[in-house]
Copies of this chain bind each other. A is one copy, B any other.
Amino acid sequence: MAKTAGIIIIGNEILSGKTQDTNSYYLASELRKLGVNVRRIVVVPDDIDAIAAEVAVQSEKYDYVFTAGGVGPTHDDVTMQGIAKAFNLKTVTNQKILEVIKERCGNRLNEPTMRMAELPEGAEVIEVEGLRFPPIVLKNVFIFPGIPEFLRQKFSAIKERFRSEPFILKKIYVKEEECFIAHYLEKVTSEFPDVVVGSYPKVGVDEYKVVVTLESTSQDSLSKAYDFLIGLLPENVVVRTEGT
């Protein structure tokens, strides 16, 4: 059974359209490659209660939760308080993080910056060689910064711990309108319940009109479903295929 995950993006700048979130796409595609099934992505504002409510729901429901954003030194960085509140915990000063901050800021250390060392009680700092600010985890919640470069660096450093049974993917590029192949896709779906069938129309491309995806953790089911669908589709509509 594939592991499940939820992603929580924290930040007013995403909700107000100032910044395009790229972290959820990165995490979703990386997790997919690792065989993890992302079930929900939510963008919430920099608000303790909104963060707490979503973390509580996802932590209960999924194997892993990934948060991005709201861990800096400014007044709107309230992710740690939000996550603490989700589990009715206080925040406490983490000495290891405090040392890192002191070393970084020297005699310019100030109150807001020191608050970055306040973590939910019981949060664990994941030691990674070469990373000054290490990833932080509380229960099944993995806490990342919102800055894409730092998020990627930290996620890459620990991603192997999430590896699960991989999904295998086949793509079929079809030069026919979606509405004329929908009934074939429906047949594949009912014949092969362990194969997920997707259908994605593309506008503004000459070569094909729809990309059909077949996905499964079973190579055998996938191959059978693929052969079955190819047999159903009218001649000459398949432009090309991808995947094993």
Interface residues of A (CB under 8 A from B): 9, 12-22, 24-25, 27-33, 37-45, 50, 72-76, 101, 105, 108, 110-113, 116, 147, 149-150, 167, 178-180, 182-183, 185-186, 189, 196-201, 203-204, 213, 215
Contacts and interface: CB of A to CB of B under 8 A. Distances in A.
The 4 closest A-B pairs by CB, nearest first: A17-B29, A112-B182, A17-B28, A113-B179
B29 A25 contact: no
Given A42-B40, A198-B18, A201-B147, A110 B13 contact: no
Contacts of A28: 14-17
Contacts of A75: 182, 185-186, 189, 197
Given A39-B15, A41-B15, A43-B41, A198 B76 contact: yes
Looking at A39, A108, A189, the one whose CB has the most chain B CB atoms below 10 A away is: A39
Nearest to A201: B147
Nearest to A45: B39
Tally of this chain's copies: 2
> Which of A14, A18, A40, A201: most chain B CB closer than 10 A?
A18
Contact of A149 (B30, B38, B203, B215): B203
19 contacts: A9-B41, A17-B27, A17-B28, A17-B30, A17-B38, A18-B32, A40-B45, A41-B43, A72-B199, A73-B179, A74-B178, A74-B182, A75-B182, A105-B180, A108-B180, A111-B183, A112-B179, A147-B201, A150-B203
Contact of A203 (B20, B40, B111, B147): B147
A73 B182 contact: yes
Contacts of A19: 200
A18 B204 CA distance: 19
B17 A25 contact: yes
A65 B65 CA distance: 25
A215 B20 contact: no
A145 to B, nearest CB: 9
Nearest to A27: B17
Given A41-B43, A43-B24, A179-B105, A199 B17 contact: no
